Copies of this chain bind each other. A is one copy, B any other.
Amino acid sequence: MTALRTPKQQRSIQTRKRIMDAAFHLYAKKGIHGTNSKEIVEKAGVAIGSFYSYFKNKKTLLLEMLEDYLDRHYLAIWKPVEDITINEMGRDDIKVLIESVFAAYDISPEFHRQTHALRYSDPDINRVYERERNREVTQIRSLLESNKSRMRVTDPEAAAVVIHNAVENVAHTATFIGSQIEKQRLIDQLSDMIFIFLLHGSRSA
């Protein structure tokens, strides 16, 4: 097996990026299974051989794209709320965070939908998503720990998982499936639920 090309020249980096961009758009538009390698390279304007110089196979390309995407997704959620890691988390912070999540789902809903669908049938994809989930649950948990004294929850580890799942799936469903109910109403209920769950009866409640 020949080693993959490691981009050294400027041209290399461009070609690589062009392939990834082309794939990204096609996957979002026609679905991952509905897009074959020929279409990708045609859209990218390169030869099929180049594809396989840069990526071991289609799967590898997808995993790399997914990692890139989830990094952006993660940042979109946590960048705007860096400040609330202190011990003053309040009702509004929760809402802002949830709104960030909803916004993050709008970066590239189709790509997210497509890859997420593969999660349950493809262990490699699942592994990447799990890494992401762990990052997020960890963040939530450390938020709970920072505000421990004001919290009513007794099992912050499990609580973090439950909260993460709730937010993720509401955003997920609202984004991918749609709903007769406007997103804002869901966000409001979700924020309320989580706030009450975590802080009700505390000083700041």
Which of B42, B113, B161, B173 is in CB contact (< 8 Å) with A186? B161
Known A186-B161, A192-B197, A197-B196: A170·B166 in contact at CB below 8 Å? yes
Q: A177, B2: Cβ atoms under 8 Å? A: no
Known A121-B114, A155-B189: A181·B161 in contact at CB below 8 Å? yes
Give, as a whole number of angstroms, the nearest-CB distance from A198 to chain B: 9
Mark interface residues in A109-143 (1 if CB within 8 Å of B CB, else 0): 00001101111110000100010010000000000
Q: Interface-forming stretch among A11-19, A33-41, A55-63, A64-72?
A: A33-41
Provide the main secondary structure of the chain A interface.
helix
Number of A residues with CB within 8 Å of any CB on chain B: 50
Q: B188, A155: Cβ atoms under 8 Å? A: yes
Q: Compute how far the CA of A130 lies from the CA of B172 in the bound complex, rounded to whole angstroms.
A: 14
Closest to A122 in B: B117
Closest to A116 in B: B120
Give, as a whole number of angstroms, the nearest-CB distance from A182 to chain B: 8
Q: A121, B158: Cβ atoms under 8 Å? A: no
The answer to whether the Cβ of A190 comes within 8 Å of any Cβ in the partner chain is yes
Mark interface residues in A69-113 (1 if CB within 8 Å of B CB, else 0): 000000000000000000000000000000000000000000001
Q: Which residues of B contact A47 (CB under 8 A)?
A: none
Q: B126, A177: Cβ atoms under 8 Å? A: yes
Q: A130-B177, A165-B166, A169-B169 are in contact. List 12 more A-B contacts (CB 8 A).
A: A2-B36, A2-B38, A31-B121, A155-B185, A157-B185, A158-B181, A161-B189, A162-B166, A165-B170, A165-B173, A166-B193, A192-B197
